[in-house]
Amino acid sequence: MTVWVRRPGLIAGIIAPILSIGGQLAAMATWPSYNPFSQTISEMAAGDAPTQVFMETIFCLTGVATLLVALYTPGIAKLGRVFIFISGFSFFGVAIFPLETMAGASSLGHKLSAMVGFVLLAAWPLVGWRRGADVPWVIRPIPSIAATVVMAIFCFWFLAVWATPGLGYVGTMERIAAWLEGIWPLIVVVVLARAQSQRLSRS
């Protein structure tokens, strides 16, 4: 019998967006002057940010959870899992190479880590889908392609806003893109786990 997702992958897929999104919301709650519309997620982990250590911890824990999703979700095609696995390390990179100051420019290490993470987390459904009558809908070609298209649109939108200083909503676009990229793996592992459970109950 095909195993779509193992328990560690399911748990990690659920925990990852809770850590990422919940961690950001918690950091904002403790930092009243922070503006999530105009300030980026990275600024919450900058060297002069009061939430630096907390957010660096969140980045690392999210990275661990992302690695577990890649390792324990065999229903996703191998190349898609490779993309997810590499993206897990990008979270460590963002933590290891933080902004020196909130107003400072990003280092090369920070830019590369963030770029790799955004690209791979948007692209993995495109290379992670499978064909077959028994394949759950969430990893079939059309939903997978649609997921990548939607995430790519918001990633490019975020990039365009980030490259145009003064628009004032770079933080908003970054969060939409990042949160979508965190929520889609959650949907995937939950649907795979449900399909797996239903198949077991019928056997």
pLDDT score of 167 more than 90: no
pLDDT of 76 reads: 98
Q: For residue 104, give every residue at least 6 positions away whose Cβ sits within 8 Å of its Cβ, in sequence order, or none.
A: 46
Tokens of 14: 């659920």
- The pLDDT of 21-41, averaged and rounded, is 95
Mean pLDDT over the full length of the chain? 95
Q: Which residues span the domain enclosing 91?
A: 7-202
Q: What percent of the chain has pLDDT over 70?
A: 99
pLDDT score of 1 more than 90: no
Q: How many domains does the chain have?
A: 1
pLDDT of 101 reads: 86
pLDDT score of 141 more than 80: yes
Tokens of 151: 């995430």
- The pLDDT of 54-59, averaged and rounded, is 97
Residue 106 confidence class, pLDDT cut points 50, 70, 90: confident
The answer to whether residue 186 sits within a structural domain is yes
pLDDT score of 203 more than 70: no
pLDDT score of 77 more than 90: yes
The answer to whether residue 78 sits within a structural domain is yes
pLDDT score of 138 more than 90: yes
The answer to whether residue 108 sits within a structural domain is yes
The answer to whether residue 71 sits within a structural domain is yes
- Residues 175-187: pLDDT tens digits? 999 999 999 999 9
The answer to whether residue 51 sits within a structural domain is yes
The answer to whether residue 62 sits within a structural domain is yes
The answer to whether residue 1 sits within a structural domain is no
Q: What percent of the chain has pLDDT over 90?
A: 88
Residue 168 confidence class, pLDDT cut points 50, 70, 90: confident
